């Protein structure tokens, strides 16, 4: 019944804000526009459409707000007025009462807020779907005063999210039972993955740990700054971090006036993303403009400032390898290799014809090479790839859903920063270097160094292990092993003969040259 009531509430909110009328008017069919006017009779829908959509998403809760945040970055897919309104969802969701924030802080640290902070500003500086942020000053154990940002979890978030996720799981079960094609999309697994990430975001200590890991990973890159966490003041409902001073990346005019190189900023963003994904397998998965600033301080001028680490994505070594090889082959326009990788990874059924899959991938991807970002819609590319995947029964990989969402965010951000950015040209050198590192001598030495302790322990035991094996194994296995050892000896003798023969041949040539020179003189 709880899911039923939540579904009814969603429908009522949609009707209240006229979302049905908004959808119908987006079509070009005259009869649908007439229907939109009919269904809007008796409802006061004089507010702008973007405002109505934003307010409806705010009313429906954090999951819908996050959906609006993703949409706000896709100005290539949305009218400008709607994209501008949805941008408010990035960090300007209506805040909750600051008295509740103070009560949460005092409950978390078990003392009055005046004893925790030297100064605390009750007016929030940013408010999003899950939490809001206040500025404060903190006295460290050594006596130093630090400017900090205090992030406080919104009250009652878990219940709201649980209701929406239950409804999504129910719908996913229905969709999964519709057909075999629907099962290929793995809706239940995708919702389960979404469930995990959202519940992780409700634990602010986990967010602080994510930030610490990203900060370590990005230290040597010198392109992005991540705030330091104050672990003595981190709680599941409250975290205290270093205050970062920067300009929101959406304020491009202000950044240009300050002298920031915007095209370089776009290229740096691509480098940061690919470094986190392919080098570290640990990436910021909520990279909308509300979470990104740019430093104007002289020592760090032009660097990114990354915020809000509640959602991060992780990739296994296998995922990273297959993705990197796919990207590298794609940049070389080696569509056959892309098709082979899909087959090797098990993403397509074993009986799939490589030549047909290769031709389909070429048809989708070839038109988009050597074109600036303003002429490419990654959303359209993904849509066409989705249609191709349906034809070839490609299984959706739930662990890559966050990566796909983040890639769409990155493309939307890059489009705003530099429409002339060549995404492929910028990313290709990085991926080729990564591939070289993965299969080159350096990687081999790293693997040998990592395995050396195990080998050092194992080698002295080999004679005993061989003796035990020969004594304890059945006669047939022993005979096979002896035959194998005999064959190995024959091979060794053959190799020795080849090597000695080669050495003899070279020495013979040298001797002949010496004799010739002696005769000449």
Confidence bin at 396 (pLDDT 50/70/90): low
pLDDT for 437 beyond 90:
no
Going from the C-alpha of 323 to that of each of 250, 318, 345, 404, the distances in angstroms are 30, 9, 10, 12
pLDDT for 504 beyond 80:
no
How far apart (Å, rounded) are the C-alpha atoms in residues 513 and 492?
Answer: 32
Placement of tokens 């290769």 in the chain: 358
Placement of tokens 């009707």 in the chain: 15
Confidence bin at 143 (pLDDT 50/70/90): confident
> Cα torsion for 137, 141, 144, 149, to the nearest 10°?
-30
pLDDT for 404 beyond 60:
yes
Q: At what angle do helices 262-274 and 401-417 cross, to 10 degrees?
A: 170
pLDDT (mean) for 112-128: 92
Show the tokens assigned to 301: 């001028």
- In this prediction, residue 518 carries a pLDDT of 44
pLDDT for 316 beyond 60:
yes
pLDDT for 237 beyond 70:
yes
- In this prediction, residue 521 carries a pLDDT of 45
pLDDT (mean) for 492-516: 51
Confidence bin at 224 (pLDDT 50/70/90): very high
More confident residue, 77 or 119: 119
Contact 514, 506 (CB under 8 A): no
Confidence bin at 90 (pLDDT 50/70/90): low
More confident residue, 414 or 387: 414
How far apart (Å, rounded) are the C-alpha atoms in residues 439 and 442?
Answer: 8
Q: With helix as H, strand as E and coil as C, how does 259-297 read?
A: CCCHHHHHHHHHHHHHHHHHHHCEEECCCCHHHEEECCC
Show the tokens assigned to 326: 């796919």
Contact 150, 135 (CB under 8 A): yes
User: 276-299 pLDDT, tens per residue?
Assistant: 888 888 999 887 778 899 999 999
pLDDT for 305 beyond 80:
yes
- In percent, how much of the chain has pLDDT > 70? 63
Mean confidence (pLDDT) of the chain = 76
pLDDT (mean) for 387-406: 67
Confidence bin at 137 (pLDDT 50/70/90): very high
φ/ψ of residue 147, rounded to 5: -80, 130
- In this prediction, residue 181 carries a pLDDT of 53
- In percent, how much of the chain has pLDDT > 90? 22
Show the tokens assigned to 238: 């409250």
Confidence bin at 519 (pLDDT 50/70/90): very low
Confidence bin at 350 (pLDDT 50/70/90): confident
- In this prediction, residue 465 carries a pLDDT of 66
Q: Residue 78 CB: number of other CB atoms within 10 A? A: 18
Sign of CA dihedral 467, 472, 473, 478: positive
Residues tagged active-site: 286
- In this prediction, residue 516 carries a pLDDT of 43
pLDDT (mean) for 360-379: 70
Going by their DSSP bridges, the two strands 224-225 and 304-306 should be labelled as parallel
Instruction: Give the lowest-confidence range in 154-158, 217-221, 456-460.
Output: 456-460
More confident residue, 111 or 45: 111
pLDDT for 117 beyond 70:
yes
Q: Residue 146 CB: number of other CB atoms within 10 A? A: 15
Going by their DSSP bridges, the two strands 292-294 and 282-284 should be labelled as unpaired
How far apart (Å, rounded) are the C-alpha atoms in residues 449 and 461?
Answer: 20
pLDDT for 347 beyond 80:
no
pLDDT (mean) for 55-82: 72
Confidence bin at 34 (pLDDT 50/70/90): low
């Amino acid at each position: 019944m709880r899911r039923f009531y939540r579904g009814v509430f969603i429908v009522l909110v949609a009707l209240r804000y006229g979302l049905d009328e908004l959808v119908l008017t987006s079509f070009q069919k005259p009869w649908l526009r007439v229907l939109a006017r009919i269904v809007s009779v008796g409802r006061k829908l004089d507010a702008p459409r973007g405002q109505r959509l934003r307010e409806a998403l705010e009313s429906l809760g954090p999951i819908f707000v996050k959906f609006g945040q993703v949409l706000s970055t896709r100005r290539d897919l949305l009218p400008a007025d709607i994209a501008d309104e949805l941008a408010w969802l990035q960090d300007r969701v209506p805040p909750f009462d600051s008295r509740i924030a103070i009560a949460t802080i005092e409950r978390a640290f078990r003392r009055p807020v005046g004893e925790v902070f030297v100064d605390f500003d009750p007016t929030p500086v940013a408010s999003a779907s899950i939490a809001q942020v206040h500025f404060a000053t903190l006295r460290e154990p050594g006596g130093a005063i630090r400017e900090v940002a205090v992030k406080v979890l919104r009250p009652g978030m878990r219940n709201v999210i649980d209701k929406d996720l239950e409804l999504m799981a129910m719908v996913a079960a229905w969709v999964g039972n519709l057909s075999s094609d629907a099962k290929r999309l793995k809706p239940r697994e995708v919702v389960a993955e979404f469930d995990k990430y959202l519940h992780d975001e409700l634990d602010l200590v986990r967010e602080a740990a994510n930030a610490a890991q990203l900060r370590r990973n990005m230290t040597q890159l010198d392109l992005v700054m991540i705030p330091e966490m104050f672990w003595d003041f981190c709680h599941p409902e409250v975290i205290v971090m270093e205050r970062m001073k920067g300009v929101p990346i959406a304020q491009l005019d202000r950044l240009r006036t300050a002298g920031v190189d915007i095209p370089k900023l776009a290229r740096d963003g691509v480098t940061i993303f690919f470094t986190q994904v392919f080098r570290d397998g640990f990436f910021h998965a909520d990279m909308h403009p509300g979470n990104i600033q740019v430093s104007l301080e002289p020592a760090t001028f032009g660097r990114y400032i990354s915020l809000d680490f509640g959602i991060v994505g992780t990739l296994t070594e296998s995922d990273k390898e297959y993705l990197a090889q796919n990207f590298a082959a794609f940049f070389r326009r080696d569509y056959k290799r892309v098709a082979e990788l899909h087959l090797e990874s098990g993403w397509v059924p074993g009986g799939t014809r490589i030549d047909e899959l290769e031709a389909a991938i070429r048809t989708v991807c070839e038109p988009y090479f050597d074109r600036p970002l303003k002429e490419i819609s990654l959303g359209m590319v993904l849509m066409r790839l989705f249609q191709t995947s349906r034809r070839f029964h490609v299984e959706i990989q739930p662990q890559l859903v966050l990566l796909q969402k983040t890639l769409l965010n990155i493309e939307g951000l890059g489009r705003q920063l530099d429409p002339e950015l060549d995404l492929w040209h910028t990313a290709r050198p990085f991926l080729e270097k990564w591939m070289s590192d993965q299969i080159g001598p350096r990687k081999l030495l790293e693997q040998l160094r990592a395995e050396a302790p195990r080998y050092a322990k194992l080698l002295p035991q080999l004679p005993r292990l061989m003796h035990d094996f020969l004594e304890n194994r059945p006669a047939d296995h022993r005979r096979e092993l002896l035959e194998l050892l005999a064959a190995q000896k024959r091979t060794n003798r053959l190799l020795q003969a080849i090597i000695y023969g080669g050495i003899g041949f070279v020495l013979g040539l040298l001797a002949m040259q010496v004799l010739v020179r002696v005769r000449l003189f």
